[in-house]
Amino acid sequence: MNWELFKGLLSGVNKYSTAFGRIWLSLVFIFRLLVYVVAAERVWSDDHKDFDCNTRQPGCTNVCYDHFFPISHIRLWALQLILVTCPSLLVIMHVAYRKAKEQRHRSAGRDNCRCVYSNPGKKRGGLWWTYLLSLVFKAGVDVVFLYIFYRFYRNYTLPRLVKCELPPCPNVVDCFISRPTEKSIFTLFMVVITCICIVLSLVEATYLIGKR
């Protein structure tokens, strides 16, 4: 996963953002992207390998792991980061479209005519709507993923011991999760940062509407 690409995309939209948007970008860079790359990937690197059940029945450990971890935290976070940064790309593309249209207008020999866009990066007209919808989409993505995490992992925490009785397990077996406390702390940290990002997106949307 080339996270430098996402960093470049978000940096490009930074100059078109409000103060709330710049705070949101900082949170995404420092407390979500960097934490994911530097720490979270290592914490979950052994989740399957060290998921241990007190049975030697072939297939039992894999079935129990799939039941309690239908999708890994780390993959959910990666998908969440990708989706939550996509609206920023739409804003950049809209500004680039405006600049290209203005350039075509000037190249047609109408330099002395009224500009199509006096400032292509100013949030007016269609760009205002694009920016506003991007804020709503980002907040919506974070809310949906918070719900998904809650449904898969109740209270966003991981127990030390889980009991499994799925076939082909011969009976009720005890399974032990690797580093559950550390993983629970990281999960709660990411949940708190996600909630802050949701609040910032909604505050920025309210600010845009009030300013208009």
Counted domains in the chain: 1
113 falls within a domain: no
What's the domain range around 68? 16-105+123-211
CATH number at residue 183: 1.20.1440.80
If you average pLDDT over residues 135-140, what whole number do you get?
Answer: 92
In this structure, is residue 5 part of a structural domain? no
Rounded Cα distance, 211 and 32, in Å: 29
Query: Is 63 part of any domain?
Result: yes
Is residue 20, in this structure, part of any structural domain at all?
yes
What Cα–Cα distance (Å) separates residue 15 from each residue in 64, 119, 137? 48, 13, 20
How confident is the model over 5-50, as pLDDT tens digits? 555 555 666 667 788 888 888 888 888 888 888 877 777 777 777 7
Residue 71 included in any domain: yes
The larger pLDDT score, comparing residue 159 to residue 12, is at 159
In the structure, what pLDDT confidence band is assigned to residue 109 with cuts at 50, 70 and 90?
low
Is residue 9 in a domain? Answer: no
Instruction: Band the pLDDT of 211: cuts 50, 70, 90.
Output: confident
- Average pLDDT of the chain is 80
In a domain, residue 6? The reply is no
Q: pLDDT grade, residue 110 (50/70/90)?
A: low
The torsion defined by the Cα of 146, 152, 156 and 158, in degrees rounded to 10, comes to -160
Examine residue 133 and state whether it is found in any structural domain, yes or no.
yes
Tell me what pLDDT residue 120 has. Answer: 47
Phi, psi at 89, each rounded to 5°: -65, -40
pLDDT-based confidence at 98, cuts 50/70/90? Answer: low
Listed in order, strand segments (DSSP E) in 10-54 are 52-53
